[in-house]
Amino acid sequence: MSITGIVLAGGKGTRMGGANKGLLEFHGRPMVAHVLHRLAPQVDELLINANREIERYRQMGYPVIQDEISGFAGPLAGLHAGMQHAQHPYILTVPCDSPLLPSNLAKRLINALIERDADIAIAKTGTQAHPVFSLCRKALLPKLELFLERGERKMTEWIAELDSIEVSFTDQAPAFTNINTPEELRILEQAA
C-alpha cells in the first residue's frame, strides 16, 4: 500500500498567540520533529505542508509544500497541496502538534479503508472523530478541488460528502492530544 504522509503545519497558530506550533519545543525538539519521527516509518513518502518559516521546516529533511489556496485556508488547503505533489495513491494527513501520534496509525486506517472500500478513513477516540488524522485516496483530488472552488473550507463538511469510515483508536486516546495553547503544551510535556 503506497502512502504519502502529509504533516499539516500550515496554520496561523492563533490560539498559540501566533506561534508556529510545529516549531515549538516539546522535550527539547520541535513538535514537528516528533511527528516526523513517528510518521516516517509508516509511509512511503513524507511531505510537510507549511506556509511560514519554510526554511526551518526544510531543515527537517523532507520536502516542504505550501498551500496554493491563499489566506491560511485550513487543513483542506494542506491536503489539496499534498494531493498535487503526492507520488502515491493514498494520502495520510496528521497535524504538526500531536507529537505522540500512534505508530500504527497508517496501518489501521488503510486496513479499514481497503476492507470497506471507502473514500476516507478517519481516526476516532471514544465519540470524538479526529478528521485531520485521516487517510484518503489521491483520486479524490478533483472532488476536493470542486469543494474548494465553492468556497467551502470545513474538513467535516467535505468528509460528509464522501464514503467515510471511522476507525477506533480509543485504546490510544492520549496519542491524539494536540496542542493549541501554551498550557496544553506544558501539561502534555509533564504527562509524556
Choose between 189 and 134: higher pLDDT: 134
Write the pLDDT tens digit of every residue in 61-99. Answer: 999 999 987 765 689 999 999 999 999 999 999 999 999
**Model pLDDT, residue 191:** 81
**pLDDT class of 12 with cuts at 50, 70, 90:** low
Q: How far apart are CA 24 and CA 103, in angstroms?
A: 22
The whole-model pTM stands at: 0.93
Q: With 80 as the cut, is the pLDDT of residue 104 above it?
A: yes
Span 37-65, pLDDT tens digits = 999 999 999 999 999 899 999 999 999 99
- The pLDDT of residue 153 is 85
SS3 for 20? coil
